[in-house]
Amino acid sequence: MVSLSDIKKFLRGTILLDESLSKYTWMRVGGAADYYVEPADRNDLVEIAKYFQQNGFPVLILGRGSNILVSDEGIRGAVINLETALSSVRMGGDCVIAEAGVWLQKFVDFCIQHDLSGVEMLAGIPGTIGGAVVMNAGAHGGEISAHLVEVEILRGCEIMRISKKDAEFSYRHSAFESDVVLSATFQLPKGDREDLAKRRRELILKRNETQPLELPNSGSMFKNPANTFAAKLIEQAGLKGKRIGNAQISEKHANFIVNLGAAKATEIIQLLELTRRTVYQNSGIQLELEVKLYGFQQKMIGQVS
């Protein structure tokens, strides 16, 4: 059994009860978490994560919430945001060591400043190192795992280092979905600072042109099936612009759902279900979710995942 008074005896960071998650998710959707925790530093994070683990209390580790959809009912358990606790990026010999809460933009800036290439295409992804490693985030033909050496994690109550070969990286997948990622170590090829900065700028401009960044969203909702694009299939199924309540399949990019204002998670789930069904009827292809769902009852999401 977890208890607030026990937690307050050792936690140095912040703990909030019934904290709405809509302000922490990129989609700006989601009910409250029973406990919302921002540990003060790495030791604080490890202590609180171990405490929940030892008490069998469910935990969701939150990055920037740019690849998750939280139900309107919220999360029974704890949500841990580690942006404050794990926010450093530094050189360690010829490697870059980035803690899990570091925003990808900051990581890419750091690498470019050190004339290191191979991650500049990640600059427009609004996530953290932890979220990107867990998701094996990628863009423009590159993935975060490409130049990764090892990942430091908390698995159960043990801190360990997992080398890339044991990390099971594949398209938007890693072996870390039940762990707490603490940091990641990269060995990057040398590059020309100005060329890298130019490429980063071009890729960000391209995103601005092709993605509905002016409205809250969760990026691509579905993974791209082999040899095709989910956005193309959704557009061919005639769903671009389709709206349920305040959730809409973007006019700009059909694999994005945008929140037009106070959208409900249930409306987004209904759109996902409609998309999956209609694309299957139209093309025979079953789309697979990329966005991760939290706090939903199985009967509600059975049709989408």
Ligand X SMILES: Cc1cc2nc3c(=O)[nH]c(=O)nc-3n(C[C@H](O)[C@H](O)[C@H](O)COP(=O)(O)OP(=O)(O)OC[C@H]3O[C@@H](n4cnc5c(N)ncnc54)[C@H](O)[C@@H]3O)c2cc1C
- CA neighbours closer than 13 Å in the CB half-sphere of residue 64: 18
Our CB check for ligand X shows the closer of 115 and 235 to be: 235
Bridge partners (DSSP) listed for residue 152? 161, 183
Among 22, 71, 87, 128, binds ligand X (CB under 6 A): 128
Whole-angstrom Cα distance, residue 18 to residue 21? 9
Q: Could you tell me the smallest distance in angstroms from the CB atom of residue 154 to ligand X?
A: 8
Which of 10-18, 130-138, 162-170, 234-242 is the region at the interface with ligand X (rule: CB under 6 A)? 130-138
**Number of residues counted as binding ligand X (CB under 6 A):** 34
52 near ligand X, judged by CB under 6 A: no
Distances (CA, A) of 23 to 7, 32, 65, 223, 258: 24, 10, 9, 25, 15
Q: Could you tell me the smallest distance in angstroms from the CB atom of residue 76 to ligand X?
A: 15
Our CB check for ligand X shows the closer of 191 and 294 to be: 294
Instruction: Write the CB contacts of 172 (distance below 8 Å, at least 6 apart in sequence).
Output: 135, 136, 137, 138, 223, 290
183 near ligand X, judged by CB under 6 A: no
Has 172 been annotated as catalytic? yes
Site for ligand X in 229-248 (CB under 6 A): none
Whole-angstrom Cα distance, residue 71 to residue 22? 10
The active-site residue out of 28, 42, 172, 276 is 172
Among 134, 234, 269, 272, binds ligand X (CB under 6 A): 134
The active-site residue out of 220, 250, 267, 276 is 220
Mark 93-102 as b/e (b = at least 16 C-beta within 10 Å): eebbbbbbbb
Q: Could you tell me the smallest distance in angstroms from the CB atom of residue 131 to ligand X?
A: 2
Long-range Cβ contact pairs of 51-56 (< 8 A, separation 24 or more) = 51/2, 51/6, 51/7, 51/10, 52/2, 52/77, 52/78, 53/156, 53/157, 54/157, 55/1, 55/2
Distances (CA, A) of 197 to 35, 189, 192, 194, 203: 40, 15, 9, 5, 10
138 near ligand X, judged by CB under 6 A: yes
Has 88 been annotated as catalytic? no
295 near ligand X, judged by CB under 6 A: no
Has 161 been annotated as catalytic? no
Q: Could you tell me the smallest distance in angstroms from the CB atom of residue 287 to ligand X?
A: 16
Whole-angstrom Cα distance, residue 248 to residue 257? 5
126 near ligand X, judged by CB under 6 A: yes
Among 96, 97, 98, 180, binds ligand X (CB under 6 A): 180
Which residues are catalytically annotated? Answer: 172, 220, 290
Binding site for ligand X (CB under 6 A): 26, 60-68, 82, 100, 125-128, 130-132, 134-135, 137-139, 176, 179-181, 211, 213, 217-219, 292
